[in-house]
Amino acid sequence: MLLELREIQKRFGGVIALRHGNLSVDAGEVHLLLGENGAGKSTLMKIVAGMLERDGGEMLWQGRPVNLRRPAEAAAIGIAMVHQESLLAPHLTVAENIFLGRAPALPGGFVDRRRMQRDAARLIEERHFPLQADWRVDKLSPAGKQLVEICRAIQHGSSLLIFDEPTSSLSEAESGEVFRIVRELRQRKMGVIYITHRLEELRAVGDRVTILRDGETVHAGPLADISTTGIIQQMVGREVTTIYERQPVPPGEELLRVDGLNRAPLLKDISFQLRAGEIVGLAGLVGAGRTELCRALFGLDRIDEGRVQVGGEEARIRSPRDAVRAGLALIPEDRQKTGLARALPISHNLTIAALDGLSRGGFLDGAAEQRLVQQHIERLRIKAESGNQLAGRLSGGNQQKVVIARWLVRGARVFLFDEPTRGIDVGAKVEVFQMMDELARSGAAILMVSSELPEILQVADRILVMRQGRLAGELPGRTTPEEIMRLAALEAAA
């Protein structure tokens, strides 16, 4: 056995990412590692690659126990990783990246550039890669960058190569190229671990499969022995713990209508409607285009084609300003980065989108602002000493409330929630759901992006599923995780 992981554990603060991580890979084997978003796949692989240290369990490399504390140590024994986001030096050439950290040396600390160039060129030529040793890496496509990482792994004499979702950013032709290379690596008796989200790729490349769910290995075995349906069941088959149940309200007038929205390269022909009082879930795998759809609707990315109507009126949205004026609100996934001004008081954060209505001739109506702030702190039960407290000092859940309250103050009617429960604890999640419910009851329309299927199932009245930039279908709110995964991960009608 090349690599064996036994009962690997890893926690981040109070969150358990891995509790029973088991995996074994043989030389000359392509091993698929599957699981839902957040099942612990990347964490497990980062432990293998020395990027994270495990809290418990055993790791055996060629039968001997090892303890890797740095990526360099993993590289030294022959483990390499091709990352989701390329970890190359963008301003250097292909050859320089392949030899990064191990450039052939001349006496006196000089680099033997000619030898480096020659060896890199030979390596590329042998594999028929569409690359040139002297190209700059930042000019390469995502696929090209992955090829460079693969070359680096081969050059370093790695015997195990980990692909972390290698095809999520690749075109079909490029994926075909990656598969060809994976097969070649197998022939050279290298071990390959291949993390993927897209189930239809499975059969093309894998020998064996390990499925993770909630940080636990729930299935391991030959790929031929398990059906695709079986895989989906294993991936989502946890008991759905009900933390919240919403009573839908009868939907009212149409508040948002999207017709034939296109944006290259990802979003294709997207049409849907949202009605007042509705909470619509938007499900899909990582890279399916959910966040991109929200960004396009909110004017952060220009749409190429398509009509957007808000409240029955044509909306030409070219900037967030236009979106806000039309009555849209975006509660972004990354609150720290794009939601809050952490160094400013809560009050400023609350009213920042509504100052047009709170000022006359550019001068603020301080008293009116104060009233609104107080009112919304109470209404949303934001736990703060006062409106003057800095927003960055609030807990995650309360920060989320401030971002939501900002749009209540503004009077938005269409809310786009991008992963509203990410990084907040269960109690705060329920409060966020209650807030969304209250919003819907007061006549707002809500689109909720979430990777947490149980949460979508508990909150949404109906569910839109995206797959590779398209709406793959619509499901009623009372559907099953299996149905969602089927739409999200498989070819339509497959």
Partner 1 sequence: MIQRLLPFLTLIVLFVTLSVASPYFLTSTNLSSVVRQTAVINIMALGMTIIIIAGGIDLSVGSTLALGGLLGTMMMERGWPIGAGVAVGIATGMLCGLLNGFLTSSLRINPFIVTLGTLGILRGSALIISNGLPVHQIPPAFSFLGEGTVVHVPFVLWILLACAVAVHVLLEHTKLGRYAFAIGSNPDAALYAGIPVAFHTTAVYTIGGMLTGLAGMIEASRLMTGQPTAGQGYELQAIAAVVIGGGSLRGGEGSVIGTLVGAFIMGLLSNGSDLLGISPYLQQAIIGAIIILAVAVDELRKRRMA
**Nearest partner of 490 among 219, 201, 194, judged by Cα:** 201
Residue 355 in contact with partner 1, rule: CB under 8 A: yes
Binder to partner 1 among 344, 368, 426, 492 (CB under 8 A)?
Answer: 344
Residue 359 in contact with partner 1, rule: CB under 8 A: yes
Residue 321 in contact with partner 1, rule: CB under 8 A: yes
Nearer to partner 1, 20 or 348 (CB): 348
Residue 339 in contact with partner 1, rule: CB under 8 A: yes
Nearer to partner 1, 115 or 348 (CB): 348
Tokens of residue 439, six digits? 């919003």
- Between the alpha carbon of residue 179 and those of residues 100, 150, 173, 200, the distances in Å are 25, 12, 10, 13
Of 366-395, which residues contact partner 1 (CB under 8 A)?
366
Nearer to partner 1, 100 or 355 (CB): 355
**Nearest partner of 182 among 191, 170, 173, 171, judged by Cα:** 191
Beta strands in 127-266 (DSSP E): 160-164, 191-195, 208-213, 216-222, 254-263
Spatial contact of 297 and 317, defined as CB atoms under 8 Å apart: yes
373-411 CB burial, b ≥16 within 10 A, e <16: beebbeebebebeebebbbeebeebbbbbbbbbbbbbbe
Spatial contact of 394 and 346, defined as CB atoms under 8 Å apart: yes
Q: Which of these ranges, 111-119, 268-276, 283-291, 317-325, lies near partner 1 under the rule CB under 8 A?
A: 317-325
Binder to partner 1 among 226, 300, 430, 490 (CB under 8 A)?
Answer: 300
Binder to partner 1 among 267, 340, 405, 456 (CB under 8 A)?
Answer: 340
Count of residues engaged in binding partner 1, rule: CB under 8 A = 30
Cβ 342 to partner 1, closest distance in Å? 7
- Between the alpha carbon of residue 248 and those of residues 352, 414, 474, the distances in Å are 31, 17, 17
CA 145 to chain centre: 20
Residue 352 in contact with partner 1, rule: CB under 8 A: yes
Phi first, then psi: give them for residue 141, nearest 5 degrees: -75, 165
Cβ 345 to partner 1, closest distance in Å? 10
Q: Which of these ranges, 27-35, 73-81, 94-102, 356-364, lies near partner 1 under the rule CB under 8 A?
A: 356-364
Spatial contact of 427 and 397, defined as CB atoms under 8 Å apart: yes
Nearer to partner 1, 132 or 319 (CB): 319
Cβ 169 to partner 1, closest distance in Å? 23
User: E strand or H helix at 57, and its extent?
Assistant: strand 56-61
Binder to partner 1 among 406, 429, 462, 486 (CB under 8 A)?
Answer: 406
Nearer to partner 1, 205 or 346 (CB): 346
Residue 330 in contact with partner 1, rule: CB under 8 A: yes
Nearer to partner 1, 148 or 324 (CB): 324
Binding interface with partner 1 (CB under 8 A): 298, 300, 319-321, 323-325, 330, 332, 337-344, 348, 351-353, 355-356, 359, 362-364, 366, 406
